Structure 1
């Protein structure tokens, strides 16, 4: 698969973890295409909650994986230090798809669902439509008084 086809495959496909695969959260970049990932508690691969996995060379200069990203990993037996390989890097659309399928681990939910008496399903849907996912440039200064000048 060429570079263009790999990019299309990563961006357009909606992956689902298969046998020997699970969703994991990137905790640390060790360099050389190796990452430490946090595995959900429900996955009983090892006693430790973190694993060292590698990113295949076909993705290395194509996709950037940073701390806090979510990936799908494939468990590999027989290797000593590297416990698996990153099969797919998940973007927001992929995460929404996995949540809709009911596959997303509850451990990785930002705000675990709590059963409050006064809370309704409408307030939860309003939270999903929030614009918190939008990028804010930290290098630009925003003047908070801009809105007040319009009222005068």
Structure 2
């Protein structure tokens, strides 16, 4: 099977199947990546441990901090105590909540995350309205621009003497009286 075909089947499996955890599986939240296909997770009770990503997901499916996964425990693991079996997306989470299989510890996280998303959207709307109401004074303010410290700073200013000198030179060039 080619790599593209394999990727297609893995993505279809991950996105399409609604899976419920078995009695030995558990739902955990990814809190960070530790490299080498290891991810740090936390359970609904607050226990933290490392999980490994199976080879079928590697370079095909990406997970990030805050994602939820279903893991199978590994008995011989000291540091790595489980392996990811299913990656849960928004639709999967809603399905598990309807089936009342979602852990109570994560219900608070979901509601808090939804509230923070709504609050952030409201703040962004308010900022957009404020920006529209402001006068164009902020366009001239360049104090928040990035300053490259690897370049020499040149101050450009035009004085009246420079303007008079350039006007005299222009006049001499036009009349042909230049020295």
Matching of residues 50-65 of structure 1 within 5 Å: 50-65=48-63
Moved over 6 A (4+): none
Q: Could you say what secondary structure the match of 2:80 adopts? A: coil
For the pair shown, which has the larger CA radius of gyration, 1 or 2?
A: 2
1:9 and 1:112 map into 2 onto residues whose CA distance is 24
Choose between structure 1 and 2: higher helix proportion: 2
Change (3 A) 1:79 1:38: same
* Partner residue of 1:144 out of 114, 119, 129: 129
Q: C-alpha separation between the residues in 2 aligned to 1:40 and 1:9?
A: 26
Structure 2, unmatched stretches of 5+, are 122-126, 134-179
Question: 2:38 corresponds to which residue?
Answer: 34
**Structure-2 separation of matches of 1:40 and 1:110:** 10
Question: Alpha-carbon deviations, 1:32-66, whole Å to 9, x = none?
Answer: 1101110122xxxxxx7111110112112111111
Gaps of 5+ in 1: 42-47, 114-127, 137-141
Q: Distance in 2 between matches of 1:87 and 1:104?
A: 16
Output the TM-score relative to the length of structure 2. 0.59
Cα gap change, 1:89/1:112 in structure 2, threshold over 3 Å: closer, same or farther?
closer
Structure number with greater CO (CA < 8 Å, separation at least 6) is 1
Aligned ranges for residues 72-151 of structure 1 at < 5 Å? 72-110=70-108, 132=117, 143-144=128-129
The CA distance in 2 between the partners of 1:62 and 1:55, in whole Å, is 11
CA distance in 1, matches of 2:40, 2:79: 11
**Contact 1:28/1:36, CA 8 A, preserved across alignment:** yes
Shift of residue 75 of structure 1?
A: 0.5
TM-score where L is the length of structure 1: 0.68
Equivalent pair of 1:37/1:50 in contact (CA under 8 Å): yes
Root mean square deviation, CA, Å: 2.8
| Residue 145 (structure 1) shift | 5.4
Q: Which residue of 2 aligns with 1:69?
A: 67
